[in-house]
Chain A
Amino acid sequence: MNAQIFFEFAINVLSMGSLYALIALGLVFVFGICKLINFAYGEFITVGAYVLYFLGVFTSLPWPLVFLIGILSSVAVGYLSELVAFRPFRGRSLDALLVTSFAVSVILQRLFQLGISPRSKAVPVPAFFNMNIELFGLTTPLRNLLIIAITVVLLLILTVIMKYTVLGVAMRGASENFVTARLMGVPANLVISVAFIISGFLAGVVAIFWTARTGSAEPLMGMSPLLIGFIAVVIGGMHSLPGAVVGGYVYALIANILSLTLPTSLLSFRDAVMFAIVIAFLVLKPEGLLRGNYQEERVG
């Protein structure tokens, strides 16, 4: 492997992995606290994508503002879905919450189909996203470097929040043992709301870079990032935040290795191979690469 191929490979893995890490992290933030596998998470991303589409096509707002509003709308959907759909079922069975998340997901998808269009809409992407950058003798679009940089910054910020703020310590306590944290005086509503808000925030950031890659928004677009998130989480471990990040990068690493090594005739089976690896993980290492501290108790 010569240097250029290696750098190209590294950039691909890191940029893809960064995006996947953010996706997985958004899932795990909610799972950690509520033990809820949130199937509506993909739709948090879709909402962000549609807002980018509307603002990008029908307004001439500057890009930073467009991105900010896009992210905020994903945050709003995350927060509101918790308030309207999940909170009334808190304390019910996990199955009830799971079905609720399906319902939220389907309702949002149908709303997009009926209210916007069942067809995909082209989301404008800022020109600088696709500007080619020369690095180590290879060219890569700026967005690949941006997502890496932004992920690093976000991970640092989240680490600081989780480690050094009152809210973060309370959230880590609550994600380990919700009942005990609550009995120590940690307010349940606040901690759960914040988890959904962070989840929505990550979904909003993902929406920006996802649409930058695909160039479109459509009602069912949330499915693929959701699936990616699940796979990353299975690989990395459902019960720890670092696990989700590791899972995202490992997923990207495996996917890129497969792309490079599989013979052309088998390339279309890349996803099948990927799923086989996931099944292997579920069978051989169901707790994922990083095992968080999992305790059975749950309040959602």
Chain B
Amino acid sequence: MKSKSTFTVKALCKSFSGLKAVDDVSLRLETGEILGLIGPNGSGKTTLINIMTGMLPKDSGQVTIDEHDISEMPAYKVPSYGLVRTYQTIRLFKNLSCLENAVIGAIGVGIKRREATRLAAELLEELGLGYKMDLPAQGLTFRDQRLLEIARALAAKPKFLLLDEPAAGLNEEETDELLALLKPMPENKNVGIIIVDHDMRLIMSLCNRLHVLNYGKTIAEGLPEDVRKNPEVVKAYLGSAAS
């Protein structure tokens, strides 16, 4: 029996000296779903992610997982309530081995050492990094570093996983591999995924729903095929990306 959780953002606002970076954004996601968060550069995606994960304080609004308001918590507690993220600019512990990187993901949420090591090793095998387990993370190829970040995030047994541009810097072939890897993940890991990326091919074939931001505001949300036809979205992207 898989437990269902709900991630909600309610009327979230954030301004930087008068400029509204996130303006009354609300969204909702269940475990087992993949939500694509898209929008042109500067549309507030990163700010939104940073608030969700406790890196930035909000001005108003709520971010909740089930009944817990995680936007009121210090950043280090957020993973324990089921939300972890990866980073657009990779943030691995470069001198630590791949295994240790993943282990930190697990122990960060209080999983005991033995179990953390077992889980970390299992995830690395799953993502095809098993044979590199004892190598320091800095020796990995770019693609493997991206995968290791995902493994480290999964080691925290998240209910919700936030992927910030996981395909950035990957070539087409590698992006396809990533797609194949992520597609079954909500089902297998009972996790809800929010993915931010500029690769529309990836977003369109991966996401159940899309949420589009522009100038900090929600301009569209819904099924991918509906969103891509939305005139406002087409306008925001100048009709180039979604076509």
Chains A and B come from one and the same complex: yes
Given known A183-B55, A183-B85, A292-B95, contact A169–B103 (CB-CB < 8 A): yes
Q: Find A172's partner among B80, B100, B138 (CB 8 Å cutoff).
A: B100
Is A169 touching B84 in the complex (CB atoms < 8 A)?
A: no
- Is B168's beta carbon under 8 Å from chain A? no
Instruction: Identify which of residues 242-300 in chain A touch chain B, using a CB-to-CB cut-off of 8 Å.
Output: 292-293, 295
Q: Find B75's partner among A172, A182, A293, A295 (CB 8 Å cutoff).
A: A182
- Is B116's beta carbon under 8 Å from chain A? yes
Given known A182-B75, A183-B76, A185-B77, contact A166–B93 (CB-CB < 8 A): no
Given known A170-B107, A177-B91, contact A185–B80 (CB-CB < 8 A): yes
Given known A183-B75, A185-B79, contact A293–B95 (CB-CB < 8 A): yes
- Is B105's beta carbon under 8 Å from chain A? yes
Given known A176-B94, A176-B95, contact A184–B103 (CB-CB < 8 A): no
Interface of A is mostly: helix
User: 1/0 per residue A183-201: CB within 8 Å of B?
Assistant: 1111110000000000000
Given known A166-B113, A169-B103, A169-B107, contact A184–B94 (CB-CB < 8 A): no
- Is B228's beta carbon under 8 Å from chain A? no
Is A187 touching B76 in the complex (CB atoms < 8 A)?
A: yes
Q: Which residues of A contact B94 (CB under 8 A)?
A: 176, 293, 295
Q: Find A181's partner among B78, B93, B95, B116 (CB 8 Å cutoff).
A: B93
CA distance A176 to B54 in the complex (A): 21
- Is B147's beta carbon under 8 Å from chain A? no
Given known A293-B94, A293-B138, contact A173–B76 (CB-CB < 8 A): no
User: 1/0 per residue B83-109: CB within 8 Å of A?
Assistant: 011010001111110001101110111
CA distance A173 to B100 in the complex (A): 9
CA distance A182 to B109 in the complex (A): 11
Given known A184-B105, A186-B76, contact A173–B93 (CB-CB < 8 A): yes
Q: Find A184's partner among B55, B95, B156 (CB 8 Å cutoff).
A: B156
Is B104 touching A173 in the complex (CB atoms < 8 A)?
A: yes
Q: Which residues of A contact B101 (CB under 8 A)?
A: 173
Beta-carbon nearest neighbor of B79 in chain A: A185
Interface residue count for B (Cβ, 8 Å)?
33
Beta-carbon nearest neighbor of B110 in chain A: A185
CA distance A184 to B107 in the complex (A): 9
A224 to chain B, nearest CB (A): 32
Q: Which residues of B contact A169 (CB under 8 A)?
A: 96, 100, 103-104, 107
Beta-carbon nearest neighbor of A184 in chain B: B108
Is B105 touching A183 in the complex (CB atoms < 8 A)?
A: no
CA distance A170 to B108 in the complex (A): 8
B85 to chain A, nearest CB (A): 7
- Is A165's beta carbon under 8 Å from chain B? yes
- Is B53's beta carbon under 8 Å from chain A? yes
CA distance A274 to B113 in the complex (A): 45
A299 to chain B, nearest CB (A): 10
- Is B152's beta carbon under 8 Å from chain A? yes
Q: Which residues of A contact B54 (CB under 8 A)?
A: 183
Taking beta carbons and an 8 Å cutoff, which residues of B are in contact with A? Answer: 53-55, 75-80, 84-85, 87, 91-96, 100-101, 103-105, 107-110, 112-113, 116, 138, 152, 156
Not counting A185-B77, A293-B138, a sample of 11 additional A-B residue pairs whose C-beta atoms are within 8 angstroms of each other reads: A166-B107, A166-B112, A170-B107, A180-B91, A180-B92, A183-B55, A183-B85, A184-B152, A185-B78, A293-B94, A293-B95
Taking beta carbons and an 8 Å cutoff, which residues of A are in contact with B? Answer: 165-166, 169-170, 172-173, 176-177, 179-188, 292-293, 295
User: Which 8 pairs of residues, A with B, have the shortest CB-CB distance?
Assistant: A185-B108, A185-B79, A184-B108, A293-B95, A180-B91, A173-B104, A173-B93, A176-B93
Q: List 24 A-B contacts (CB under 8 A).
A: A165-B113, A166-B107, A166-B113, A172-B100, A173-B93, A176-B95, A177-B93, A181-B104, A183-B53, A183-B54, A183-B75, A183-B76, A183-B85, A184-B84, A184-B108, A184-B152, A185-B76, A185-B79, A185-B84, A185-B105, A185-B110, A186-B108, A187-B76, A293-B138
